Each structure stands twice: as structure tokens, then as C-alpha cells.
Structure 1
Amino acid sequence: MKVETMKEIKTALETIIDLEDPYIQQLRKDDRKGAQKLLQAWEKQREKEQKLHDHFMSINSYERKLRKEGYTYIAGIDEVGRGPLAGPVVTAAVILPADFYLPGINDSKKLSEKKRELYYEKIQAEAIAIGIGMIDPEEIDRINIYQATKKGMLEAIQSLNRIPDYLLIDAMNLTTPYPSQSIVKGDSKSVSIAAASIIAKVTRDRLMKDLDKEYPDYHFASNMGYGTKDHLHALELVGISKHHRKSFSPIKEMVEASRS
């Protein structure tokens, strides 16, 4: 029997996914260090992929249950940008197909920017419908951030080009014509809400990067409007812009001080 080279073993392993595959059983008997190293790397990769698969199945449980109950167009709803000192609060509603599969999807805050961008493109390509809501700082100041978030979520639902028959909402109770469920930390528990969080996050980040070109002093491209040290320093040096939330501290105090 011909003894395989390390390159041949590596190539063969790339086509195998089953731990019980006869080739794997045979490879376990190969006492060459290089062969065992390749086998260990393969097993580690399979273990990682299995964990991602198991996690995906776990966060798809709400959707599977609802589909068994007869619901088809299940919209996940989430927001990004409640805490920043500048920029809008952005909301998204996403309806995914039943066969959507994206191992690794999670709450957008737990993903790297590279992963968010990659997942954003897949969601955009495969979603049945996506709706976006965006509430600007002036409106946030007028009605408060909680009401602005609710308004944005309703806008996102209304902008869907497919009428949902059920809503899964991240930690918010909305008055709508549709049956719904509010899920605390829903972006970590529901694939539809996780998808909405990614759409909202990437949409808002891109907008803040565009604002950074117009207002470079505030470093919006890196802080996304949050109250980082460089952002607060810029506020002291150049003051506030029309994109800042005047009802948020310390901007509120700056506005009041300028009036006195």
C-alpha cells in the first residue's frame, strides 16, 4: 500500500466532514508526527464547526417553533445606537427564509467588523425582506431615546416589503397589528433578531463613517458617536454639531452653560 505524503493527507482531509469516516480511522493508526498533527488540526476545525452549528440551531429555536405553529414571515427587530452622544438611532426588521443558515451569526456587538460586513452581505442577499428605521438626534431630543427607539422599530416594520405575520423584538414591547414576542437579549437568542442587529449596526456604522468625512474633529469613524475620550475632547475644543444629541450629558450641560 502506497504511503501518503503530508500534502496528500491534507488534501484528503479537506473533503471529509464525518468523524467516523474510514479514512479518519485509518489515519489514527498512522504514527508519523506530521500525520497526527494534520489529524489534530482537522479534528479541532470539525469541533469548532460543530459548536457553530449547535449555536445556530439553538438561536433558531424561536423561529422553528413559530413555523411549526403556522407562521411564515417572522420578522426579527433590533436597534443600534441608543447610547451614543451623536448620530441617529438605527433600527432594522429582517424576515429570513426557513432554510437560512449562517453558522457564527450572533449579536452584532459580539462580532468583529469584518464578520459583521460579511454577514451583512449574506443577509442582504438571502433575506425575504429588510426594513430600516432611522430617528435623527433632533427627534431623539424631542421625544426621548426610548420613544425614539420604539418609533424607529415601527418604521422598520412598516418599511418591510413583505407583511410579517409574527414579530420577535429585542427587549421592547410594541403596539402593532401583528402577534409578537419581546425577548430580553434577543440578539443572542434569535437568529432573526441577530440578523436585524447586524443590519442595523452596519447601516449605522457606515453612516457615522460618512459623517466623519464631514466632521473629522469628532473621530466618528472610530467612536461611532459614543462618548470616548477623543470625542469628549473634541467637544471641548470645537463645540457641538447638529448631529449631537442635546438631551444627553455632557452635551446637555454644555448647551445650558452656553445659554447662561
Structure 2
Amino acid sequence: MIEFRAGVDEAGRGPLAGPVVVAAVVLDPRKPIDGLNDSKKLSEARRETLYPLIIERAWAYSVVLIEAEEIDRLNIFQATMAGMSRAVAGLAPAATLALIDGNKLPKNLPCPGRAIVGGDALEPAISAASILAKVSRDRLMIDLDKQHPGYGFAVHKGYPTPAHLAALQQLGPCSEHRRSFAPVKLLLDQGQLF
């Protein structure tokens, strides 16, 4: 029987705004992709070059968004775990093993799983998932920048940079901001005090 090993990784756990994006990828061993690595170690141009190759050559891939509202409801860890389970469940053909970047396995995986610390640099399928998640999220944040001008989402992608914190202070949170994250929560709490 052929083993369909899915690499699973996420992008966007740390930002104050936008979704967490989780990807699962089953690579085709007959169609290797040169240059796969942890998305954080690749330039934006390199990630954009690899993205269509992964889509074209993978046996299967799935990309799942966990929106800010669900992150606030579940907490960032539980939301990420739910996204990983959904991404693996979305693969067709179904994975027989999920290789998860990190040290924890989601509870509801539809197949056996193995957590690999630093897996995005060690396991090509996790590297591919890392790239799909990062590119998908960056593109989404550029779109959200057009819908919510003034925050600079296209530049900082929702991370808590000084420019983002200044815009948040000036404009207040928009619908994409995670209300449970400290800088946003603090601002909302201050608003309720006055």
C-alpha cells in the first residue's frame, strides 16, 4: 500500500490580525521539488516561485483559514490544532500519516500523526505546507489591507510592529483584529473604562 504522508504547518499564530492559515501537503515522490525549506528561511520571491510548483506537483494539498473570531473563541493554540485537523481531513486522497510541525498533535486527526520539532526545515512535505500557508496568508493580508486601509496589513501582515500598534491606537481595532490578543484587548478594555 502507498503511504500518503501529509506535511502540516501553519502561518500566522503571532499576528494581532487576520486568520491563522494551515496547510497540509502530500508530495509526489516522482515529482521532487528543489529548494523546499522552512518558509521563514526563504525570500518572498522564492516562496512565490515554489508555491505554484507545490500546487502543480503535489498529490494532494489543502489550505484552511481559521478566522479571528474563532481564534478569540478557542484560543490561538486550540484554533491552530483545529485547523491542522481540518487541513488533513481536507486532503484527497486521504493521508495515511500526518507529519505535524511542532511538539503537539491535534486530538482529532483523521489518521495517525507524528509531531516533529523543526519539521518545516527537516521534512519536505512540512516545508511545502509551510510555504503554502505563508504565501496564502500573505496574499490574504494584502487583500485585507485594501478592505481595511490605514493599518498597513500589506506591509506587516498583522504582526505587532510599532507601525501596526500606532495604527491600532489611532484607528481602533477592525473586524480582522483578534480581540483576545493583549494589545487589542487592552485597547478595548481602555475604551470601556471611559
Give the TM-score band, short-chain normalised.
over 0.9
Quote the residue 2:124 is aligned against: 191
Q: C-alpha displacement at 1:236, in angstroms?
A: 1.2
Structure with more of its chain in helix, by fraction: 1
**Contact 2:4-2:94 at 8 Å conserved across structures:** yes
Which of the numbers 77, 85, 102 marks the counterpart of 1:146?
Answer: 77
**Contact 2:19-2:67 at 8 Å conserved across structures:** yes
Which of the numbers 160, 174, 184 marks the counterpart of 2:106?
Answer: 174
Quote the residue 2:28 is aligned against: 97
Over the matched positions of the two proteins, sequence identity in percent amounts to 48
CA distance in 1 between partners of 2:147 and 2:155 (Å):
14
Which has the larger Rg?
1
Corresponding letter in the other structure for 1:130: Y
SS of aligned partner of 2:99: strand
| TM-score calculated relative to the size of structure 2 | 0.95
Quote the residue 1:88 is aligned against: 19
Which of the numbers 173, 186, 193 marks the counterpart of 1:240?
Answer: 173
Corresponding letter in the other structure for 1:240: P
CA distance in 1 between partners of 2:84 and 2:168 (Å):
30
| TM-score calculated relative to the size of structure 1 | 0.71
CA distance in 2 between partners of 1:143 and 1:115 (Å):
34
CA distance in 2 between partners of 1:211 and 1:179 (Å):
36
Quote the residue 1:211 is aligned against: 144
CA distance in 2 between partners of 1:110 and 1:127 (Å):
21
Q: C-alpha displacement at 1:100, in angstroms?
A: 3.0
Q: C-alpha displacement at 1:71, in angstroms?
A: 4.7
How many residue pairs get matched?
A: 191
The one of the two structures with greater contact order (alpha-carbon pairs below 8 A, sep at least 6) is 2
User: Which deviations, in whole Å up to 9, do the C-alpha atoms of 1:34-63 show, x marking residues without a partner?
Assistant: xxxxxxxxxxxxxxxxxxxxxxxxxxxxxx
User: Which deviations, in whole Å up to 9, do the C-alpha atoms of 1:89-125 show, x marking residues without a partner?
Assistant: 0000000111232222100011011100100010011
Corresponding letter in the other structure for 1:256: D
Q: C-alpha displacement at 1:88, in angstroms?
A: 0.3
Quote the residue 1:13 is aligned against: none
Gaps in structure 2 of 5+ consecutive residues = none
Gaps in structure 1 of 5+ consecutive residues = 1-69
SS of aligned partner of 1:123: helix
Which of the numbers 133, 151, 166 marks the counterpart of 1:200?
Answer: 133
**Contact 2:88-2:110 at 8 Å conserved across structures:** no
Matched ranges for 1:1-260 at <5 A: 71-171=2-102, 172-175=104-107, 176-260=109-193
**Contact 1:76-1:195 at 8 Å conserved across structures:** yes
